[in-house]
Each structure stands twice: as structure tokens, then as C-alpha cells.
Structure 1
């Protein structure tokens, strides 16, 4: 599809920027500092969608003929949301909580124009292997976890030769003629080998990276 609209991405995330470019979308980047508070009684799986919409609506008065894309990603362990770590000690603590357990990654997306708003979210289940203290320390020292929800980047933790894409994602990448996007997403920020591995995921891989690109593509087609 040829996206002829003018787009704004309300995110500084280099991973989201990479994924949006892969969809063939030209965009400008605009961000504002907003509070990421949310109602305490809100279910954990609604928070990412709430925050994505909250971010988007701060731009409503600024929009003319553009479509704005805002997103937020949360890591959910049980009923607890693990946000971005405050420091390296916090990152190590989060990874120790995730060790050997399953958790959910929920990405909320809000599409906003002057006349229309669409908000949606996708959830992927991630299964961590059991981590040693040395693996956790080495990861935190070498893999820049402080800007990532849950203190890890999925692209840093994949066993060589393993493809975590679902069959739907693989078909989608062929459709948009980006079959190598999975490989291109790996270890963009470091050349060091992974210190631990994700055992498995259930759902969309790119949702964990920061944007559910297949769902986003179809939502933009219909917007």
C-alpha cells in the first residue's frame, strides 16, 4: 500500500522509528513530556492503550492534515506492571523477577487525526529461561536496559538461528517485501552476543519490539 498521508510519530524510540520506516511510511518525530500516571484501579492490560491515547491527545490542537501515531509498551508480570528501570539496580531486580517465568508484553497504539481517533492494543506472552546472577549483571552492563520496559530488549536475547516470528508475521513481511526485517531488528545497539535467551513467545514478535506492525498496517489502511 502507498501511504500518502503526512504522518507524525510521537516517540523517540529508535526501534519504533525503524519499524515504521520498514512499513514504507515517511514521518516526522514530535514528542512532548507528559506524565505517565494512570488510574490505580485500571487493569494492567489496559494501561498501554490508555497511555498511548493520553500521549496522542496532547497533540490534538497541533494537528492539521497529519495522522499521528503514539504508542506505549508495558511488561506485565502477574498483575504488576514493570516499567522502565530507574537505575541499574532496578534493572537487575526486574530481570530477577522475570527469570524462569512467563509474562505479557502489551503495546497500545493510538492513531489520531483532527477528525478521527482509533486506539488498540496487542499482547504477546514471553517465556524467560531461568537466569543466573552473572547473566543478569552482564546483560545490564552491556545491553542498555534503562530505556526499555521490563529492563530488556527482545532483539538482544534471541538464540542464534532461531526465528520467533509467527507464521502471520512471516507472511506479512513477504507481502510488504521486507523478509529480512526480523534479522535486521536483532542486536541493533550492540555487537556483543546475547547473555541469555528467550525460551519462547506466543503472539507477535514485533509487538515486543515496540509496534505490532501487522495490526498497525491494517489499521492505517482502514483509517
Structure 2
């Protein structure tokens, strides 16, 4: 299969930036699908399933393309923390993350004709205790509201991070080194 186009099934500016850094030609298409977290399967598989749903929704509309879908979730003590609904929700999440270690899991799906690749990556992040004035200042910014776990490690949220074990870019929303290697293999074999 000769893929003339690679589609990123996301409008995330962070994912777009990471993909651009790889040098692949691609376009970004927003995915309009329900992101239903299946609590009856292991959390890693549930996140992979959402990534697959995103990729499949776009691939159904463009079956001659290679489609990359991704979903990222913060997990604390087994509880998934997605994007906050509002300020109160963001505050609750950040207070939970304060002084603790959580996992950031990204599920990735790459779909195309005769291509079905699904995997996940896990990064552990430990936060310092977040002081109330820092929390309120952060909540006053626009940063926490479109990110899993209500923080952006690449933005002001980095000030909360004490330690990180694993792929930094996974925390940004895309384990780009693994994605790059998978796409390179596929595109090399055209």
C-alpha cells in the first residue's frame, strides 16, 4: 500500500507539534467519536480502545489513508483523570495529584489497509505538594482545561513535577519516539 497521506486523528496542538518534528507529511482531522472509558477491562486496554475508536472513525471516512489515533489519560490509584469539566474539577484533580505519583498512559492506534497496530506507553510522574496560591494561579490560566489530569507538563504545569520515569513526550500526549519507529517501518515498506 502506498500511503500518500498520513492522517493524525486529533486536533491537539501538542500532538501536531510532535508529529511535525518527525518530518512526516500529515494532516490533522478532528475525530468526532464518543470517548467511552470501559471500566470492565484493564486501564491500558481501555485507553488503547479509545485510541482505536478515534483512528477507526477517521479511517472509515478515509480508507485509503494511514490514520494515527491517540488517547492519553492520567491514572491515580486506579482512577482515570481525563480532561476537567470546569475549574472545580481541575482543582479536585490537581489536589489529588499533589504530593503523589501517578501514571500517564497513552494508547496509540495506527490503521490502514492491512495495517492494525495498537499499543500503549506508560510514564510515572511524581508531583511536589502544590501550594494553594500556586494552585489558584494555575487555575486562573487557560492551561489546565484541555489536558488529561488538568496539567500540561510542557507549560506551567512543569512547576509541579518532582520526578518523571519514562517518556516525557508521552505525558504531552504522544509517545513520539515509539510512534516514529512504527510509522517509519510502515512508510519504508511502501
Tell me if both proteins adopt one fold, taking TM over 0.5 as the criterion. yes
Give the corresponding residue for 1:28: 27
Q: 1: distance between equivalents of 2:73 and 2:36?
A: 13
Matched residue SS, 1:35 = coil
Shift of 1:221: 2.1
Q: Is there any run of 5+ residues in structure 2 with no aligned partner, and where?
A: none
Shift of 1:143: 4.4
Q: 2: distance between equivalents of 1:61 and 1:209?
A: 27
Give the corresponding residue for 2:118: 119
Q: 1: distance between equivalents of 2:80 and 2:33?
A: 19
Among 206, 210, 219, the alignment partner of 2:169 is 206
Give the corresponding residue for 2:178: 215
Q: Which moved more, 1:207-216 or 1:34-43?
A: 34-43
Question: TM-score, length-normalised on structure 1?
Answer: 0.78
Shift of 1:41: 1.2
Give the corresponding residue for 2:65: 66
Matched residue SS, 1:59 = helix
Are the aligned partners of 1:44 and 1:80 in contact in 2 as well (CA < 8 Å)?
Answer: no
Are the aligned partners of 1:8 and 1:27 in contact in 2 as well (CA < 8 Å)?
Answer: yes
Are the aligned partners of 2:59 and 2:66 in contact in 1 as well (CA < 8 Å)?
Answer: no
Runs (4+) of structure 1 moved beyond 3 Å? none
Question: TM-score, length-normalised on structure 2?
Answer: 0.91
Q: Is there any run of 5+ residues in structure 1 with no aligned partner, and where?
A: 159-193
- Cα deviation 1:145-173 (Å, max 9, x = unaligned): 11000000011247xxxxxxxxxxxxxxx
Are the aligned partners of 1:11 and 1:70 in contact in 2 as well (CA < 8 Å)?
Answer: yes
RMSD, aligned CA: 1.7
Alignment of 1:54-93 (within 5 A): 54-93=53-92
Are the aligned partners of 1:157 and 1:198 in contact in 2 as well (CA < 8 Å)?
Answer: no
Are the aligned partners of 1:85 and 1:91 in contact in 2 as well (CA < 8 Å)?
Answer: yes
